[in-house]
Amino acid sequence: MRHIISILLENEAGALSRVAGLFSARGYNIESLTVAPTEDGTLSRITLVTRGPDEIIEQITKQLNKLIDVVKLVDLTEGDHIEREMMMIKTRVTGEGRDEVKRLTEIFRGRIIDVTDTTYTVELTGSASKLDAFIKALNVPILETVRSGVAGIARGEKSLHV
């Protein structure tokens, strides 16, 4: 099962490497990991996507909680939540390909943010699977893909805060 884990982390030097080190040392897999400051300067927020059977996910959350720098965490996939990821993708487009990429970008509600004679760069936001679908649908050469990794938040009144 795929899980999205949100973590509030002390904004300390080395805190991120404790999280990353935990995953490599214990052989857990990380599909994506994003980290950025929050409105509270002492805290960073990590969104981490991982996969595994329930027992492993249970161990992952317990081991993360055990890290002294982890202030709080929640497994977003346990409840209703919203997931977003941003992608910029540079494609080689000439002739008919140009129209096709434009059309596809519209269908996926993306935007073309940079244009040259031979390239389009598309910006797209959505769930990770939507971005995957867009990549799959493109049948022009891809020069470069850059994805932000998943960010997630719970729906409704629930919130992750100290």
Partner 1 sequence: MKLSGGEILVQFLHDEGVEYLFGYPGGAVLHIYDAIYKQDKVKHILVRHEQGATHAADGYARATGKPGVVLVTSGPGATNAVTGIATAYMDSIPMVVITGQVATQYIGSDAFQEVDAVGITRPCVKHNFLVKRVEDLAITLKKAFYVATTGRPGPVVVDVPKDVTAPNVKIDYEYPGSVTMRSYNPVEKGHPKQIRQAADIILSAKQPMIYTGGGVLLSDAAEELIEFTHCLGYPITSTLMGLGAYPATDPQFLGMLGMHGTYEANMAMHECDVLIAIGARFDDRVTGDTEKFCPQAKIIHIDIDPSSISKNVKVHVPIVGNVKTVLTDINAVLKEKNSKPDKEALDKWWQQIKVWQKEDCLQYDRKSKLIKPQFVLEKLYEVTKGDAYITSDVGQHQMFAAQFYKFDKPRRWINSGGLGTMGFGLPAAMGVQLAFPGAPVACITGEASIQMCIQELSTCMQYMLPIKVVNLNNRYMGMVRQWQELMYESRYSHSYMDALPDFVKLAEAYGHVGVQITDPKDVEPALKEAFTKYKDRLVFLDFITDQSENVYPMIKTGQGHHEMYLASQRGRGLA
- Residues interacting with partner 1, by CB under 8 A? 10, 13-14, 17-18, 21, 25, 55, 58-59, 62-63, 65-66, 68-71, 162
Question: Residue 20: which of 46, 41, 40 has the closest Cα?
Answer: 46
Q: Are 44 and 158 in contact (CB under 8 A)?
A: no
Supply the minimum distance, in Å, between the C-beta of residue 72 and partner 1: 8
CB nearer to partner 1: pick between 62 and 136: 62
Residue 58 or 78 with smaller CB distance to partner 1: 58
Which of 160, 148, 149 lies closest to 43 in space, CA to CA?
160
Helix, strand, coil distribution of the chain in percent, nearest 5: 30, 40, 30
Smallest separation (angstroms) from partner 1 to the CB of 41: 14
Q: Which is nearer to partner 1, 11 or 121 (CB)?
A: 11
